[in-house]
Structure 1
Amino acid sequence: MGLFKSKKKKIDNYSLKHGVGLVTYNDPMSNVSEQFKTIRTNIQFSSVDKKLKSILFTSSARSEGKSTVSNNMAVTQAKQGDRVLLIDADLRRPIMHKTFNLNNTYGLSNYLSGSVRLEDVVQRTMIDNLFVITSGPIPPNPSELLGSVRTKDLLNRLSSQFDLLILDAPPVNAVTDSQVLASMVDGVILVVPQGIAKKSDVIRAKQLLETVHANILGFVMNRVTETSSSKYGGYYGAYKK
């Protein structure tokens, strides 16, 4: 996590086997952790009239770091004292159970298919105030499950039990899952890796989200090199709308 673009392939292969790096947990005093705190503050001020209760993180294409950003943002929010639920809504390439070393026998797909109770899928993590719903087994019909009334009811129910829901969703341009979910949450954030994401892909992702009237809060530019980042020398760029 947080390495330069030249090492992207190595990081992706590592992530698929072991999950994403939680720098905000393992190195909370680092420059990168400080930048996540800045992003957290900017998100909080992005909605003055309404408290954000659910935020979806996505990207335009695969392997652009949206899971790393969403998972570390969840840790950052939980450390602030908020009761946070992180949901692995990527039912095609799930990774959250590996990141937090959790059992993925039962998860979101099981609950949405009606085979388990909610209390069977919400799991505690090693971080105070942070809970996780893993993906569960990969289903044959992810888009249909995520677009069901049961999903909307689930998010409404969870919003009353947690201060913030953070959803890690698939890339917008690859499948319709994120569009379906974007209409159910309070806000959406696009993760855009510097020097990797194509401008045309990001524009298309934004347009697809706007089609479903998603509330696009802004973007997080990740994999920013030290020479082009802020004075703190971190790897995550500023958040802005």
Structure 2
Amino acid sequence: MVDAAEGTPVAGSTLLTPGAAPQPTGGMIRFSSQWRERLAAGPESDLGLTEQFRRLAATLHHAHLANGLSDVMLTSASPGDGKTLTAVNLALVLAESYRYRVLLIDADLRRPSIPDIFEQSDGCGLSEALTSPTEQKLALVAITNRLSLLPAGRPISNSIEALTSPRMRQILEEATSRFDWVIVDAPPVSAATDARLLAQMVSGTLFVIRAGQTQSPDVQRAVDAIGREQILGVVLNGVEGTGPTPYYYGHPRD
């Protein structure tokens, strides 16, 4: 079996299989044109935006070296706070600036947003694998030579049962054994209990807040639902005068 991120043999892999070959890295042709200027990689990216995400990625890089942290979930209190774009940009920077092998998992099975950013055709993904009566392998989409995507697949309503299944745990365990970093884009906390349950399956959570939009009571309820001990830090989006700039507050757990 071949690792989609690097093209090297992987022993003992059971669920994740290579998908489409990566597009040439010189262009961002795998991204929707309306999102390219908001991405932290590629010829159209804003240097200030890229630098802010490099700072965020640097925090995770040091945690990876210090205590082996290799998987993180991103969520927010409400829709529209920017957690999906943050997850995509973080995955891009970890792969392209830090040269890690990265898997981005779209785990928002009710209303997946990553297809809006990637020029991705509809197809099978995580939801089909979790709801299938028999175990089926998942084809990863290679975004670059080092970044792979596990799409959400078709939206489903019974996502809680699917995401808490033994098969989901198996997928996460295999992903963390095969990739340097696993970035999980989870649903907003207010939309469902999916994020709270997923938080128990990963090493930690980054909580995304949008300046001037996310309400403090909503943040408090979301943090209480996830559990403060699960939160590695907070990313503040949309700071006035800086655009969608992320800031990291807090320190990864030892």
TM-score range, shorter chain: 0.7 to 0.9
**Offset from partner CA, 1:24-44 (integer Å, 9 cap, x none):** 123346101100000111233
Match of 1:159 in 2: 176
Match of 2:239 in 1: 224
TM-score of the two chains, using structure 1 as the length reference: 0.82
Match of 1:172 in 2: 189
Percent identity at matched positions? 31
Match of 1:63 in 2: 80
The structure-2 alpha-carbon separation of the partners of 1:47 and 1:161, relative to structure 1 and needing over 3 Å to count, comes to closer
How big is the alpha-carbon RMSD for the aligned residues of Structure 1 and Structure 2? 2.1
Residue 49 of structure 1, CA deviation: 4.8
Counterpart pick for 2:218 among 193, 201, 205: 201
Q: Please tell me whether the aligned partners of residues 24 and 76 of structure 1 are also in contact (alpha carbons under 8 angstroms).
A: yes
Match of 2:26 in 1: none
Structure 1 unmatched ranges of 5 or more: 1-16, 227-232
The structure-2 alpha-carbon separation of the partners of 1:166 and 1:129, relative to structure 1 and needing over 3 Å to count, comes to same
Question: Are positions 1:117 and 2:136 aligned together?
Answer: yes
Match of 1:30 in 2: 47
SS at match of 2:67: coil
Match of 1:133 in 2: 150
Q: Please tell me whether the aligned partners of residues 189 and 219 of structure 1 are also in contact (alpha carbons under 8 angstroms).
A: yes
Residue 187 of structure 1, CA deviation: 1.0
The structure-2 alpha-carbon separation of the partners of 1:214 and 1:177, relative to structure 1 and needing over 3 Å to count, comes to farther
TM-score of the two chains, using structure 2 as the length reference: 0.78
Counterpart residue identity of residue 97, structure 1: P
Residue 98 of structure 1, CA deviation: 3.3
SS at match of 2:72: strand
Cα distance in 2 between the residues matched to 1:179 and 1:111: 21
Residue 128 of structure 1, CA deviation: 2.4
Match of 1:101 in 2: 119
Cα distance in 1 between the residues matched to 2:61 and 2:151: 25
SS at match of 1:183: helix
SS at match of 1:85: strand
Match of 1:82 in 2: 100
The structure-2 alpha-carbon separation of the partners of 1:47 and 1:25, relative to structure 1 and needing over 3 Å to count, comes to closer
SS at match of 2:161: helix
**Offset from partner CA, 1:140-198 (integer Å, 9 cap, x none):** 31111001111111100111111111011111122000011100001100100001000
Residue 46 of structure 1, CA deviation: 4.6
Question: Are positions 1:192 and 2:201 aligned together?
Answer: no
Residue 20 of structure 1, CA deviation: 4.8
Q: Please tell me whether the aligned partners of residues 110 and 157 of structure 2 are also in contact (alpha carbons under 8 angstroms).
A: no
The structure-2 alpha-carbon separation of the partners of 1:18 and 1:176, relative to structure 1 and needing over 3 Å to count, comes to farther
**Offset from partner CA, 1:84-127 (integer Å, 9 cap, x none):** 01011001111213322123310000111235633x431111x2
Q: Please tell me whether the aligned partners of residues 46 and 217 of structure 1 are also in contact (alpha carbons under 8 angstroms).
A: no
Counterpart residue identity of residue 224, structure 1: V
The structure-2 alpha-carbon separation of the partners of 1:145 and 1:20, relative to structure 1 and needing over 3 Å to count, comes to farther
SS at match of 2:223: helix
Q: Please tell me whether the aligned partners of residues 53 and 246 of structure 2 are also in contact (alpha carbons under 8 angstroms).
A: no
Cα distance in 2 between the residues matched to 1:203 and 1:186: 21
Counterpart residue identity of residue 136, structure 2: R
Poorly superposed stretches of 4+, deviation over 6 Å: none
User: Which of 28-37 and 181-190 deviates more?
Assistant: 28-37
The structure-2 alpha-carbon separation of the partners of 1:214 and 1:110, relative to structure 1 and needing over 3 Å to count, comes to farther
